[in-house]
A and B are shown apart, each in its own frame.
Chain A
């Protein structure tokens, strides 16, 4: 399968942050970003560095302080909410309170931007929902209540919901935060598969550095200076990953792609 390199989203000179009365609280500036179809992109960085703010800005929930975000050839701010919803879907960290909805009903909510004023599902909507259920391996659970599912299954339902929204771009905020290692790997594999097979762009913010380095096509490394974007190999070679946590507590083991406790610390404990 030949993958066409289509740029779905690009950010130019983006400054993100919050407006507090007259003062701009800048989180990150001079960001130049691109998202291509068919790619799995991992956004990594320390806690509180502004990953969530960046994601919120990219999905148009929070206005940028300055700079431009383009969805293909259109400026994000010129696109209506409903149209954005047909181009970007999200999986957020907050848990839905819709505990009494069935899996099918919850996934069906994804068709909100496409259905009429009554929210009636047409054949096309049902087809998309069934397809998404199949792709995420949830077809057998369709009539289970969401609160009967395990955390791993709930997360798969939320990914399925985003998938059924049928958007080119899916953005996930720490999708594996509460999962065990088995389900973490399973989720990453699922996302990689969806990016490859459906030619979608999937952007994940994550703390799973080891997994991300193995599976992502592109890494966005967010630090105080901004975002360094590149393939996992590049970032490891140039020691950008190693400098992510710049203190003596830990160091990065390039061979095993993981952070280890610094030697001094180990000795001190011993």
Chain B
């Protein structure tokens, strides 16, 4: 009797799919590069075309890695939050956590512009942006948590998330009224969401915090499974609810904050991917779900990014628009399908 074994095949399939879309993502763009050349470049065999090598190593590879980190990270956050809140609608964007991070970043970029002088440099500081994003995300997360302890209703929580979004927009409008055109442009480009504008420079911080958060999440998988039975059962199994809740809040807050700070507010991936995963694998067991959500999150993000680059054209669409186009219908479908999801 080992139900875990049956999912090994699924994981192999997912890993192969991820690899295929990774190569596809690297190969398509304003110029198409044959997949074989991609493989050569990754392994380190010198390519005949040095322009291709430059495009791949300097632009597309860091962007693809960012896509993998962002997609899997946000999806993992979504899974953790859905189980913790016992709410299928929970996710970093829908609950306004991403808005919180935006607020933090907006306060930094636009605020530094308003204050001027020695604060001006702060708006361009990467570390400062990351910290502002994390603080903003944590602020909203704790607020939502406090509110949700009074309101158990799914719809109400959704509306509260929406309100936080509106609140953020309002504050940003006020800030942008007072800030310089240059900073405003900087903020707006950030808010479109982008995986590519950071290059290699952002990856050490992003991947470092990403890894720390995921490692911290692993010992919580056992608790998440116990939480599937409901809080009272979980308590009867010896689980400390406050300790688990706080850990998951910190993990999701920090991870969403750092991802949003680097890639902008990316909508719906965190909400939709856990549901897609649960549907594909037909399980609620987090030992299976957690790694699967990471893989599928990465795949979905790579697909979205590939579409956003519009193959063979010089245009690049905002990634946020693509994830919304794909994610919003998933939310509507979820709401129409009244069945209780967990």
Contact = CB atoms under 8 A, between A and B. Distances in A.
A100 B1 contact: no
Interface stretch (A13-21, A89-97, A176-184): A89-97
Contacts of B219: 117-118
Interface stretch (B101-109, B151-159, B277-285): B277-285
Q: Place the interface of chain A in its size category.
A: 35 or more
Contact of A110 (B228, B237, B239): B237
B228 A90 contact: no
A53 interface: no
B169 interface: no
A85 B3 contact: no
A145 B226 CA distance: 17
A105 B236 contact: no
A37 to B, nearest CB: 20
Interface in B215-237: 218-219, 221-222, 225-226, 228-230, 232-233, 235-237
Contacts of B3: 102, 104-105, 143
Q: Is the interface of B mostly helix, strand, loop or mixed?
A: loop
B296 to A, nearest CB: 16
A90 B226 CA distance: 14
A100 B221 CA distance: 16
B176 to A, nearest CB: 43
A49 interface: no
B238 interface: yes
B238 A113 contact: yes
A85 B230 contact: no
Contact of B240 (A81, A97, A130): A81
Interface in B193-231: 218-219, 221-222, 225-226, 228-230
20 contacts: A81-B238, A81-B240, A82-B238, A85-B237, A85-B238, A92-B230, A92-B233, A96-B228, A97-B340, A100-B284, A101-B284, A102-B3, A102-B283, A105-B285, A106-B229, A112-B226, A115-B222, A118-B219, A143-B1, A145-B282
Interface of A: 59, 61, 80-86, 88-90, 92, 94, 96-102, 104-106, 109-110, 112-113, 115, 117-119, 126, 130, 142-143, 145, 165
